[in-house]
Structure formats: structure tokens, C-alpha cells
Chains A and B, each alone.
Chain A
């Protein structure tokens, strides 16, 4: 199984500041034949299911604000929120869908400082 490890486990950022969450996979999730990274990011708010934010490591899902961006390739990935808003308080998960079983990171809790 591919193990997904996020860092940090939690962080607090001031409103309007940048938030950065990292995700590392135990093996590459880059599929060479199409040059796509099979990596997604989700946001989960209390009492709600996860919501897809980013897929293919850097493609923003329709309707997701452009302050959210994803980067990275191979085994190392980053989710960046360029200017933190109050509604961004949530737990964020990375996920690899390169191989079965599909696996998730342990989550990163993001709060307002």
C-alpha cells in the first residue's frame, strides 16, 4: 500500500496570510504514460463530508476559489492557501488514487491564529 504522510498535523495561520500543507507518498504517484500525478486534496469541515479541492496534483475543482493551489510531482506535494479566509478553517487531506487500495493522509487541521 502507498502510505501518505502529511505535515504538519496542525497549524494556525493569521487571516490573510499564506498556509502551506505538505504531503509525501511512500512511492511515486506519477504515471509516466500520461505524465499525470494521481494526487488529490480534500477539505473537510465539521459535520460535513470531504470536499474535493484539487486533483491531478494541481487542477482546481470547479467552483474552488483560486486562493487554493496545488503543486509537486512524484512523491512530494503541497497545498497552498494564498490568503487565509475564516471559512478555510477545516481539516485537509491528501489522497493518492494511483494504486489500489486508494489511501489518504492522516489530515492536517488548519485554524486561525
Chain B
């Protein structure tokens, strides 16, 4: 069955970086895009960007340009999202999700990774 398994919760200090992983299984990794969405009580659901596993091309939301990097490892069917220069406003639940295209609904989601930024 389709699974997107994310790495565990993280606690980071302001100014640090965090790298969250999303391991895919149960389907052909290269056939689906992986998107990242974060959820905060104040901002709701916020699309961060997308990576195309075949080729590795990426697209990032303007709000995160320069701070977010998405990469993939095709040998392990894993996608990574790294967010730098963290502030308390980056405290959120981070989800990966898959879609059949970059203009397609998100048909399966990871379980989420809680990132807490605190001094």
C-alpha cells in the first residue's frame, strides 16, 4: 500500500536549519510529484513547494524562496525538505504529500513532522 513516512519531531533554536525526510513506498517513486505543506494554527495550510522525483526539478513558494531546499534520493525513494534561518514563526507541522502532477490534488499525505523552534 502507498506510504509516505516522515522523520520524527525536531526541536531547533532560532537561526538553525532543519531537514525533514519523506520516504515513499508502495508506488513508483518517479511517477508522482512530492509537495510540502506546513500547518500552523495561525496560517492554516501553506504550500511550500514541489519536487519532481524524476529529474529533481523544484518549485518553491515565494514566501520560502532562499530559505527552503527540496532534494531527493532515488536510490531510497526519499525526498528531503530543508528549511534554514528558522524563527519561532516556523514552528509548525510539516507534511509531505504526493500528486500526479504539479497541478493536481494531493491524493496521499505523510503523517506529519512537528518542528518546534525555541530558544
Residues on A facing B (Cβ under 8 Å) = 38, 40, 42, 49-52, 55, 61, 93, 95, 97-107
Contact = CB atoms under 8 A, between A and B. Distances in A.
A98 B103 contact: yes
Contacts of B104: 55, 97
Given A100-B59, A101-B61, A101-B62, A50 B45 contact: yes
Contacts of B80: none
Contacts of B59: 100
A51 B63 CA distance: 25
- List the 6 shortest-distance A-B pairs measured between CB atoms, nearest first: A49-B109, A40-B105, A55-B105, A104-B45, A102-B47, A101-B61
Contacts of B46: 104
Contact of B106 (A38, A52, A98): A52
A93 B107 CA distance: 14
9 contacts: A49-B97, A55-B105, A95-B105, A98-B103, A100-B59, A100-B61, A101-B61, A104-B45, A107-B44
Q: Give chain A's interface secondary structure class.
A: loop
A100 B112 CA distance: 22
B48 to A, nearest CB: 9
Nearest to A104: B45
Interface in B76-119: 95, 97, 99, 102-112
* Interface bracket on B: 20 to 34
A106 B44 contact: yes
B70 interface: no
A97 B109 contact: no
B35 interface: yes
Nearest to B61: A101
A38 B104 CA distance: 8
Interface in B20-79: 35, 44-47, 59, 61-63
Contacts of A98: 103
Given A100-B59, A101-B61, A102-B35, A61 B47 contact: no
A101 B95 CA distance: 16
Given A50-B45, A107-B44, A100 B102 contact: yes
